[in-house]
Amino acid sequence: MQKVLLYLHGFRSVGLCYKGKQIASFAPNSLTPNLSYVPDLAIAYVEELIKKYGAQNLCLIGSSLGGYYATYLAEKYAMKAVLVNPVINAYKTLLPAIGQVNVSYNNTSFFWSLNLVESLKKYFVDSITPELYCVLLQSGDQVLDCRIAAQKFKDSKLIIEEGGSHHFDNFINQKDTILFWAKK
């Protein structure tokens, strides 16, 4: 049985962004929610979806900050996850973003505070279960150093493409990899 793909977008993004739209195109029953910029609310909402659909019926796909969330949730619920250029230490990575943040996809903004950064610490996963993850990285990621994620997930299924960007250029080319991982 094909699992439902649950896409967790990144910081300053929305569910039907570049990757979310592509996932919806090749997996019409996928879920691509808009997550709150408040980490606790984002996690609580995704946990509601996990309870509604059942962890065994879902495969997480997390991009950037969504990859950080997906790692936490995959470990908590023993779920398969595909991580795309994931943030590893979100509370460090997103500290410089404090202030007014614009979301270009929908012309909205929010205020990113030190309290929100601090709230990310509770979702940090120190030790992972390698067999839960398929990790897609591009070495040309201008936002995150892909070597950090490659080191953390070195024992997982790891695909590192040369070049590319944080956006993950030609994401649609990973369709078969994602669908295969979701079946496992």
What would the pLDDT profile of 72-129 be if each residue is shown by its tens digit? 999 999 999 999 999 999 999 999 999 999 997 888 999 999 999 999 999 999 999 9
State how far the Cα of 46 lies from the Cα of 67, in Å rounded to an integer. Answer: 13
Give percent of the chain with pLDDT exceeding 90: 95
- Assess contact for 151 and 130: CB atoms under 8 A: no
Query: With a threshold of 0.85, does the pTM exceed it?
Result: yes
Whether 7 shows a pLDDT value over 80: the answer reads yes
| Stretch among 4-13, 24-33, 99-108, 156-165 having the lowest mean pLDDT | 99-108
State how far the Cα of 125 lies from the Cα of 105, in Å rounded to an integer. Answer: 29
Whether 51 shows a pLDDT value over 80: the answer reads yes
